A and B are shown apart, each in its own frame.
Chain A
Amino acid sequence: MSTMTALTDRTATAGEPPVDVADAVPRRHPWRWVSAAVVLVLAAQLAHLLVTNPRFQWRVVLRYFNAESVVRGMGTTLLLTVIAMAVGIVLGVLLAVGRLSRNPLIRSLSGLYVWFFRGTPALVQLIFWYNLSQLVTRLSLGIPFGPSFISADTNTLITPMLAAILGLGLNEAAYMAEIIRGGLLSVEQGQVEAAQALGMTRLRTLRRIVLPQAMRFIVPPTGSQVINMVKATSLVSVIAMADMLYTVQAIYNRTFQTIPLLIVACIWYLIITSILYVGQSFIERRYSRGATRQAPRSFLDFLKIRRTPPPVVDRTEHTA
């Protein structure tokens, strides 16, 4: 209190009116203008190159962009991404919980899985599943070392699609397990104790308290994994699956229009990954509820690029 009065007194004696920063001159940013100019020039050069260099063959790009086989290839790529990611996430959650389990057998088996599937190349795993029939000729379901109920020829059972799902999905699970485990570990132990003190079982604590909070740490790296997967599915061209890359390769092997067709593939990949990127932002927003003191932002705020004033948080005290 006494310091306050002292300060006010001093300003008052200086004879100046009290300062109000509301109409202060904003800080200047000359280097932003300089760098913007540089970027603009570079962009213009790039655009010039893209338009004037005839070897890009934009007409070919345009012709094949929505060719039926290309679109179908994209469909395969997307389907594979969705299924492989689903396998990866579901199995990844189980493995992550397994690695944090109190049961030592489950803990080491989960660790062993992650060690193996992360430690060998996805491409090798893919080819391995595709060629499983060389290792075991028949697969059957039944009592171990006893009679079997169903059995099938490995070659007919493991289609290229199934090999692709196993190869990409099981590999992805190992990475997702580590991402999810990291997320679970980032939630404070006090949260678990509070949940248990309220009579929640371990499973309920995980589902309702720990996992939703861990999501904030799990979603961003998972977004990267999905985008990686969109591109990693191109590995399946080695097992003759007609995904995006395989389809354009098939075309340019025939027509020798390599560059324009690769551009077609790149544009498609970029479109898909851009959509995924926006999707990720929405999921992140959903799981950031309560994470900061700021009130959650709405969909409209998200679309506005201009700076919005910070939301006002009601901090009025109400004492009993």
Chain B
Amino acid sequence: MTEQKQPLLRARGVRKHFGNLQVLNGIDLDVYPSEVVVLLGPSGSGKSTFLRCVNHLEELDGGSITVDGELVGYTRRGGRVHELSDRAIAVQRRSIGMVFQQFNLFPHLTVLRNITESPIGVLGEPRARAVEHARELLARVGLADKADAYPRQLSGGQQQRVAIARALAMRPKLMLFDEPTSALDPELVGEVLATMRGLAADGLTMIVVTHEIGFAREAADRVVFMEGGVIVEQGTAREVLETPRNPRTRAFLSRFLDD
């Protein structure tokens, strides 16, 4: 059913290196609207780097990434590709939300101001509307009563849910999650994953880097396994997690299935 639609994200031959290290070595990936894609892979396989390329926090060395038909970070003009200005890239990023491992909430702003800062300042939404939307989102992540707290007064799980609400406030077409639960104590992981499952059920398009195999099994439409800067295997959660064909996928998963 998804196959007839245009992909929301289209990555083609994405390459990226740091110094001598080739971190991404030709990534091809399509993500369709409302799809939840979980990116798995060992440490250092380039998962974070790929996500950061999608919203141009990292510049690509080669290949291309298109989101909703628009080339990220570049534009086609007169038969050639030109680098976009900082301002134009900032405009592109409005429609791509990102949630970080370390939350990265703004500590000098209250929870509410964290969420409304960009809708008001960047999108020019009227304050009253932005505040109303922010309160709706806070209720959705279960933190309606924390609007006036400062981030450092919240637990890690609460902070991460605020970070999710903050990203959603921009009404993104695509959400990127980079190990959103890795910095959390085990008992706080559940509340964040529950929030994310809710978003998936609402039809948000998501790319999620995580080591939570349980989340992948339940919420992912597709699981992609990366290693050494390439996609080694991909398929439905059942295919990749239950009957992996590639020996490296099998070796990686065996570490999780032991417990």
Contacts and interface: CB of A to CB of B under 8 A. Distances in A.
A317 B155 contact: yes
Interface stretch (A74-82, A131-139, A195-203): A195-203
Contacts of A198: 93-94, 117-118, 122, 166-167, 170
B108 A291 contact: yes
A200 B90 contact: yes
Interface residues of B, number: 46
B191 A320 contact: yes
Contacts, number: 99
Interface in B80-138: 86-87, 90-91, 93-94, 96-98, 100, 102, 104-110, 117-118, 121-123
A197 B141 contact: no
B146 A200 contact: no
Contacts of A30: none
Contact of A291 (B55, B107, B143): B107
Given A199-B118, A204-B122, A292-B152, A194 B108 contact: no
A320 B142 contact: yes
Interface in B223-253: none
A213 B108 contact: yes
B22 interface: no
Contacts of B98: 194, 197
Interface SS of chain A: loop
Interface residues of A, number: 32
Interface string A202-219: 101000110011000000
B87 to A, nearest CB: 6
B47 interface: no
Contacts of A200: 90, 118, 121-122
Contacts of A194: 98, 100, 104-106, 163
Most chain-A CB neighbours within 10 Å: which of B142, B150, B163, B198? B150
B195 interface: yes
14 contacts: A188-B104, A190-B104, A194-B104, A195-B106, A198-B94, A199-B90, A200-B90, A213-B107, A289-B108, A289-B150, A315-B155, A318-B145, A318-B158, A320-B142
Interface of B: 55, 57, 86-87, 90-91, 93-94, 96-98, 100, 102, 104-110, 117-118, 121-123, 141-143, 145-146, 149-153, 155, 158, 161, 163, 166-167, 170, 191, 194-195, 198
Interface of A: 188, 190-191, 193-202, 204, 208-209, 212-213, 287, 289-293, 295, 313-315, 317-320
